[in-house]
Chain A
Amino acid sequence: MTRLVALLLAALILALPLSLLAGKVWIDPFDPQVRNAAIILTELRLPRAVLALVLGAGLGGAGAAMQGYLRNPLADPGLFGIAPSAALGAVLSLFLGLTAAWALPLFALVGAGGAMALLGIIAGREGNVALFTLAGMMIASLAGALTSLAISLSPTPFAMSEIVTWLMGALADRSWREVWIAAPLTLAGLGFLWAAGRGLDALTLGEAAARSLGLEPNRMQALIILGVGLTVGASVAVAGIIGFVGLMVPHLIRPFTDRRPSSLLLPSALAGALLLLVADCLCRVLPTVGELRLGIALSLVGAPFFLHLLLKLRKGLA
């Protein structure tokens, strides 16, 4: 497992500088003639790359924890309704035409926090996983419906197009400000998930056996709500909805670990960071009319991946 972590770290160290050179304007490190190279690097590409690393790590880690908690390789951080609720918050700020720079991330974080609180209240003190999942699905569909309502009632066509565009997550035009919003929240969230690691291992044996090993279900649930809520909430707040990272990454990494959820957390976070960095880079350089949105690109890859997973599970091979 340590070899896997070292390998992923090496790949990240290699990919980061390369990603900075790629884009609409290619920067040749040996040619100082490229105009505005320093500004492009430090003000456009570096914050964007760092943001990709932070959000990718958060989503990858959250996905690994979710799959461990729900004991299901098809689980995705989106299941708990935190991402749709954060998106609803962001959409409301666009709907209301709030232009202050802090409004959108703040509204998104309030949305994520609301979903986390609702989850905690509905699932109650028992720590029952099935009830918890159903509560999450209910919250997700409610937030989705309210988002559609906001779109259909949007006061101006401009607001509507802004909302729709924003919902397709992207990292384009993000600055250090977004990094400062997302990084501390994501790190805190990953910290909570790390704390949940041994409990997730115990859950491998089922809830009853896990409790007999000293697991406290309600404490576990609180750690998961906080961890997934902070990482996913932070990511939606600064980049919109970026799906499938949390589903794909743990699944790709699992065969290279001993398959305990706790040994999957760190490699998944690193691989999530790598995936998002590379995917964002590809979006930037693909010769499309206008830039391909990262959220769409990942969904285009993710949906067939999900289908492949389902078919594999049906054959009982996963």
Chain B
Amino acid sequence: MLEADGLVLGKRLAGLSAALRPGEVTAICGPNGAGKSTLLACLAGLLAPDAGRALLDGEPIAALPPRVRARRVGYLPQSPELAWDVTGETLVGLGRLPWQAAPLHRRHASAAEDALAVEEAIAAMALAGLRHRPVSRLSGGERSRVLVARVLAGRPQWLLADEPLANLDLAHAATLIARLKEQARAGVGVVLVLHDLAAAMNHADRVLVLHQGQLAADGPPPLALTEDTIAGVWGVRARWLGEPLRHALLLSE
């Protein structure tokens, strides 16, 4: 269980509480500035709230040693910056860092376990053909999959990703979300900040709608993303078309 317990942070989060369950895809939606990324970073233990706390299985996440937290919660920032032109495989391998020996820290996985986790992550994101290619020569969609694989390689119980579908074309977005859903079925708690409401509607198990740092709606997509909620939070009239799992959002004047 990953919980936000009365999180307050500046003007971005105004006393937000929610309990997220593993094995589900939870989408965090809301207009720009609603506090989505801030909430995600707080849940990942990367931002310290002014008040309230984030809890991981009942334990304050701020109290966990950084490497322990890193082994349990994987986080993918919104616009990952890659400093060096490493290959896909090397990049995925960086996800194993919290498990490996470091000065003052013993290793928590054998080299064989490291290799296996990297292989599994590469397989899960269908990257076998790209593993030896430098990241500069990957397309945007391929790079996104490599970056998600980097998080998976750490075998986290939670996978928190900020806008993983941004800049992806239709096919790549569909592939990525299918892979993320597989992870959730395998027991990982998948938490995604999503701008694309149709993606949230069709693929999430649960949607949190944020508005001005507070929870405006919370529940299964059809209940959380009603046309009334969209009108109230985004300020646009919109209508859902299509059938369950194949919804599209139509804006009306």
Contact = CB atoms under 8 A, between A and B. Distances in A.
Contacts of A213: 70, 94-95, 97-98, 154
Given A258-B87, A260-B86, A212 B81 contact: no
A201 interface: yes
Interface string A60-86: 000000001001100000000000000
B94 A204 contact: yes
A71 B91 CA distance: 15
A209 B87 CA distance: 18
Contacts of A195: 102-103
B85 interface: yes
A68 B84 CA distance: 9
A214 B66 contact: yes
A212 B86 contact: no
Interface residues of A, number: 25
Contacts of A71: 81, 83-84
13 contacts: A201-B94, A204-B82, A204-B91, A205-B82, A206-B77, A209-B75, A212-B44, A212-B73, A213-B97, A213-B98, A213-B154, A215-B66, A260-B86
Contacts of B80: 205-206, 209
A258 B135 CA distance: 12
Nearest to B44: A212
B85 A259 contact: yes
B90 interface: yes
A205 B41 CA distance: 16
Looking at chain B's contact residues, the main secondary structure is mixed
B109 to A, nearest CB: 13
Interface of A: 68, 71-72, 195, 198-199, 201-206, 208-209, 211-216, 254, 258-261
A224 to B, nearest CB: 13
B82 to A, nearest CB: 7
Contact of B70 (A72, A214, A258, A261): A214
A201 B100 CA distance: 12
Contact of A214 (B67, B76, B86, B91): B67
B66 A205 contact: no
A204 B146 CA distance: 14
A213 B70 CA distance: 5
